[in-house]
């Protein structure tokens, strides 16, 4: 069994072959492994001296300061109304809590940025924490952008679609929604209720007859004149009114229209209004609790248990519940819930528009300052309140219940994951329970669009912010040579680690139970003995012969449950088909396969879009024009079934099958 050990050689690394990794954290070598162990005076004295030097040049005005270690890694970002006074408090010889003492002991330099006001300092501090991820700050983790619903404003027939990212396209944005699934369900129901189109502009312009959505009554068919401009404009206005909070008025208008149609014996038209009303009711029934007196607010509740924090966020817009999301910010146990919530809020709204009202479960120290900063950023008044009674108090209590339950589930999952990791260490004979597992896989089609991928798992499950993909670059590589591809991926990954910390394979302090080291405790390769030997050769050449390594070979006929585990210098291992450890290994392997296949398909789709249909065998200019005229875009051609392709004039059954196979070829 290969073991993890000290790095014995240094390698010259070509920067062009090194993968970037923005989530790496710096090791603080002068700190004790146990956070409760006293800090020796020598590092503290050095750190205080560095801070005292900064105090002599610090301004007495507002600003942001960054404490840095000897390697220029940012340890902590803070803000103050009087920077000199705040830094002076760190230089005191006594009275520091252990977390602050550990930070001071590692400090080698302090950088300061002055600001005009304390509110500017607060906004800058939040931005820098999100960018730099300092070890001693509260960190907002898994901060993904929220989806919105957009009704476009740059076309005579507006389109309804899901939108993420910068709101640069003209139109009306409604959100945020807590999940893409909630947006998808809402858009589907809105299509049924208001018949607003969801197709792209290029698809819209190419239509000569109504598409399937018109046939199933999810679109009014403006592309072919099935509805006139005033009629479609009225539908869009109704959809906008509904999303803007005037849902009751919209439903009352539809109910009156249904009654009039029924009185006129126009039963088909009455049934259409009935279906639209049912669709609107479906939207609101899926939203769960809807407030009676709160038009627009975000509700935050925090719960602490077992050394973890959970912040539950609910979004209420236009009197409707648009979903909730649980966050698990990274913070040391010495932080109070109030401190974590205050830092969380500043980072949360760094790239999101705040509503007019923010409701909290705990009072935060700088609530008024945060409200002023968000008001300046949003261009309207923002209130930050801890409600004491009434419906607002009920909303916070509901969010707090969800936070408590979400953290309970998280702790249960973590405990289960820990047991699986301990079992894996016992089965493989690892020297310690792994805290970082890296799994590697490759994907290609006959050598084309070759891509490798690495996924990472730890005590808290999959760490998706540390996944990496590797576009295979070597020109000397034989197309389809899986062993050479694996060698290139591993060389690029471990050369980068060597370049970062050639003397220490554990750059993150072991005492941080909620952090994951940069170096793996176990490397898993998807493949058999050949893949294992290729990986061993790479690690031996780099002087990493003690890194724990395993290959997972698929069973006969690729049957799950009959995998063989190959370890260096040991016979293959077969676990019982129902062994939980085998299920765990399968889950790791399948996640790597899912990620690499997705990366490969994105790369291949990009090449297909750039090359057009010229690469499809047997498709000339005439057939290409016929396909584009029928489907509108290459993306729609890619989505089409064999039967749909066969309906295009000039496309035979054989050509349809060839086109379908081209777009759906299974990668290796």
Q: Does residue 166 register a pLDDT over 50?
A: yes
Cis-peptide into 121, omega within 30 deg = no
pLDDT per position as a tens digit, 401-425: 999 988 888 887 777 888 889 999 9
pTM over 0.85: no
76 vs 7, higher pLDDT: 76
> Is 566 within 8 Å of 529 (Cβ atoms)?
yes
Q: Which of 241-245, 296-300, 376-380, 385-389 has the lowest mean pLDDT?
A: 241-245
Q: How confident is the model at residue 480 (pLDDT cuts 50, 70, 90)?
A: low
pLDDT per position as a tens digit, 113-155: 999 888 889 888 888 988 888 888 888 866 567 888 899 988 9
Q: How confident is the model at residue 387 (pLDDT cuts 50, 70, 90)?
A: very high
What share of the chain has pLDDT > 90, as a percent? 15
Nearest-Å Rg of the Cα atoms of the chain is 29
Instruction: Report the distance separating Cα 369 and Cα 375, nearest Å.
Output: 10
Q: Do the strands 357-360 and 383-385 form a parallel or antiparallel pair, or are they unpaired?
A: parallel
Q: Does residue 366 register a pLDDT over 50?
A: yes
Give backbone dihedrals phi and psi of 446, rounded to 5 degrees, phi first. Answer: 50, 40
> Is 608 within 8 Å of 469 (Cβ atoms)?
no
Residue 478: predicted pLDDT: 67
Q: Does residue 88 register a pLDDT over 50?
A: yes
Residue 504: predicted pLDDT: 42
> Is 297 within 8 Å of 303 (Cβ atoms)?
no
Q: Kindly report the average pLDDT of the chain as a whole number.
A: 79
Q: Does residue 434 register a pLDDT over 60?
A: yes
Q: Does residue 7 register a pLDDT over 50?
A: no
Q: How confident is the model at residue 212 (pLDDT cuts 50, 70, 90)?
A: confident
Instruction: Report the distance separating Cα 168 and Cα 171, nearest Å.
Output: 9
CA–CA distances in Å: residue 27 to residues 52, 74, 509 = 23, 11, 6
Q: Does residue 574 register a pLDDT over 90?
A: no
The average pLDDT across 456-468 equals 87
Q: Is 346 exposed, middle or buried (0-12, 13-18, 19+ CB in 10 A)?
A: buried
Q: Does residue 16 register a pLDDT over 50?
A: no
Give bridge partners of residue 552 from the DSSP assignment: 526, 565
The average pLDDT across 25-41 equals 39
Give the dihedral of Cα atoms 15, 19, 25, 26; nearest 10 deg: -20
What are the structural domains of the chain?
A: 26-132 (3.40.1440.10), 148-244+246-286 (no CATH), 297-409 (3.30.420.10), 434-602 (3.30.420.340), 612-663 (1.10.150.20)
pLDDT per position as a tens digit, 315-350: 887 677 778 889 888 888 888 899 999 989 988 888
């Amino acid at each position: 069994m290969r073991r993890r050990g000290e790095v014995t050689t240094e390698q010259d690394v070509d920067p062009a072959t090194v993968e970037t990794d923005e989530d790496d954290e710096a090791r603080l070598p002068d700190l004790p492994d146990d956070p409760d162990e006293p800090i020796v005076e020598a590092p503290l004295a050095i750190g205080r001296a560095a801070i005292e030097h900064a105090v002599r040049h610090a301004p007495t005005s507002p600003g942001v300061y960054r404490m840095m270690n000897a390697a220029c890694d940012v340890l902590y970002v803070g803000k103050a109304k009087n920077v000199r006074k705040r830094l002076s408090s760190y230089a005191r010889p006594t009275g520091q809590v252990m977390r602050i003492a550990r930070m001071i002991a590692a400090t080698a330099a302090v950088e300061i940025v002055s600001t005009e006001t304390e509110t500017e300092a607060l906004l800058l501090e939040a931005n820098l924490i999100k960018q730099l991820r300092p070890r001693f700050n509260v960190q907002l983790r898994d901060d993904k952008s929220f989806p919105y619903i957009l009704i476009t404003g740059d076309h005579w027939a507006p389109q309804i679609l899901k939108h993420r990212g910068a709101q640069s396209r003209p139109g009306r944005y409604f959100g945020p929604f807590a999940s893409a699934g909630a947006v998808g369900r809402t858009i589907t129901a809105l299509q049924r209720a208001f018949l607003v189109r969801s197709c792209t502009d290029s698809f819209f312009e190419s239509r000569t007859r109504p598409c399937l959505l018109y046939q199933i009554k999810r679109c009014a068919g403006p592309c072919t004149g099935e509805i006139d401009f005033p009629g479609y404009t009225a539908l869009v206005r109704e959809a906008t009114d509904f999303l803007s909070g005037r849902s009751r008025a919209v439903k009352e208008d539809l109910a009156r229209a249904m009654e009039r149609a029924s009185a006129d014996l126009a039963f088909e038209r009455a049934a259409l209004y009935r279906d639209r009303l049912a669709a609107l009711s479906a939207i609101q029934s899926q939203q769960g609790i809807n407030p009676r007196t709160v038009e627009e607010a975000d509700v935050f509740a925090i719960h602490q248990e077992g050394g973890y924090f959970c912040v539950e966020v609910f979004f209420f817009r236009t009197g409707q519940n648009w979903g909730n999301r649980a966050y698990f910010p990274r913070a040391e146990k010495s932080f109070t819930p109030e401190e974590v919530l205050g830092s969380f809020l500043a980072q949360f709204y760094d790239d999101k528009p705040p509503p007019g009202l923010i409701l909290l479960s705990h009072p935060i120290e700088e609530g008024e300052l945060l409200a002023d900063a968000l008001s300046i950023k949003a261009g309207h008044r923002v209130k930050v309140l801890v409600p004491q009674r009434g419906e607002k108090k009920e909303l916070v209590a509901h969010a707090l219940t969800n936070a408590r339950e979400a953290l309970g589930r998280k702790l249960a999952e973590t405990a289960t994951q820990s047991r699986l990791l301990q079992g894996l260490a016992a089965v493989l004979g690892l020297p310690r329970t792994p805290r970082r597992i890296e799994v590697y896989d490759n994907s290609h089609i006959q050598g084309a669009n070759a891509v490798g991928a690495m996924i990472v798992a730890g005590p808290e499950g999959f760490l998706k912010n540390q996944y990496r993909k590797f576009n295979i670059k070597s020109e000397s590589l034989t197309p389809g040579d899986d062993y050479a591809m694996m060698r290139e991926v591993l060389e690029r990954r471990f050369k980068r680690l060597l370049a970062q910390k050639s003397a220490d394979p554990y750059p993150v302090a072991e005492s941080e139970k909620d952090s994951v080291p940069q170096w793996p405790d176990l490397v898993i390769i998807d493949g058999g003995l050949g893949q294992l030997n290729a990986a061993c050769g790479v690690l031996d050449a780099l002087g990493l012969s003690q890194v724990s390594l395993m290959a997972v070979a698929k069973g006969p006929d690729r049957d799950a449950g009959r995998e063989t585990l190959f370890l260096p210098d040991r016979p293959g291992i077969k676990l019982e088909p129902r062994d939980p450890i085998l299920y765990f290994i399968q889950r790791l392997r399948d996640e790597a396969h899912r990620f690499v296949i997705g990366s490969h398909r994105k790369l291949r789709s990009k090449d297909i879009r750039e090359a057009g249909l010229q690469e499809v065998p047997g498709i000339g200019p005439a057939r290409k024009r016929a396909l584009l005229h029928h489907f509108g875009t290459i993306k729609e051609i890619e989505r089409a079934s064999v039967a749909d392709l066969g309906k295009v004039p000039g496309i035979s059954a054989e050509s349809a099958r060839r086109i379908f196979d081209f777009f759906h070829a299974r990668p290796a």
